[in-house]
Amino acid sequence: MPLAHFDGALAVVTGAGSGIGRATALALAGRGATVIAADIDLPSAEHTITLAKSVGSGGTAYQVDVSDAGAMEIFAAEVEETHRAPDIVVNNAGIAVAGPFLETGLDDWDRILGVNLYGVIHGSRLFGKQMHDRVHGLPNKPDKPNFGGHIVNVASAAAFAPWRAMPAYCTTKAAVLMLSECLRAELAGSRIGVTAVCPGFVSTDLVDNGTYAVADESARTRLQQSAKKAIKLRNYPPEKVAERIVQAIIKNKAVVPVNFEGHLLHTLSRVSPSAVRLMARIPTSRG
């Protein structure tokens, strides 16, 4: 059953200090939801809540590292104790690691898996259980009995297609897509919807804050500048992604490609996977 009414809903958004996370928090707040804005950068999360108060109900900021299982358990328990089980969870926090597989070190793999994949696992597992227990009327879950909820996992158009320049990033986002599909099947009986949102290039600070696993410094600079140029030329604001997230919750969509490249890669991955594999071989500016 889709959650189509946001007034009075409690929404947890990770990575809410900027970009898609902040835009989503504000979109939900503007529709009447109370927002729990979580980010590793507390001042940024607090600024999101200040903005949320100007457009709607506001909420509370929390500092949390989504890759830290213990910190996420404390965070989820505090949300439930101080507020209640959330109605909406948007697992948005993410980072980028670019560069060829043979130059991507284990530390980089640990970091991107921790944030992009385990962050989604922690958020879905902990808050999904709170939603599940509320639906099934387990003890100490008196709020909104038999009410489900919705989990949104922000993946990427990279989930649909391999790319030689970003094997680590593509791997984590493909895993988030599959995890979301599995969760959707499992949690449907508890009236909990699950959506994987898959944007293409979006104007966020993901590229600026990314890691470039390229040994040669000049090649590393070219790779970063190429990515920044693509983002600038695309000029797709995170607010448009937030609107798609809102509509996905309302309509209980399973998979939501966002913008032209998102739809293109989604379609090609289904009708011509060989074409997608060929595209993955195209050299980057690194040469």
Catalytic residue selected from 62, 118, 169, 236: 169
Residue 169 is among the residues annotated as catalytic for this protein: yes
DSSP string, 173-240: HHHHHHHHHHHHHHHGGGTEEEEEEEE-S-SSSTTTT-EE--SSHHHHHHHHHHHHHHHHHH---HHH
3-state secondary structure of 96: coil
Neighbours of 86 (CB within 10 A): 28
Say if residues 58 and 29 touch (Cβ distance below 8 Å).
yes
Neighbours of 163 (CB within 10 A): 18
3-state secondary structure of 115: helix
Length, in residues, of the chain: 287
Phi–psi pair at 8, nearest 5 degrees: 85, 0
Phi–psi pair at 60, nearest 5 degrees: -140, 140
Structure tokens, 181: 């599909």
Structure tokens, 215: 């040994």
Q: Are strands 59-63 and 255-258 parallel, antiparallel or unpaired?
A: unpaired
Looking at the annotation, which residues are catalytic?
Answer: 169
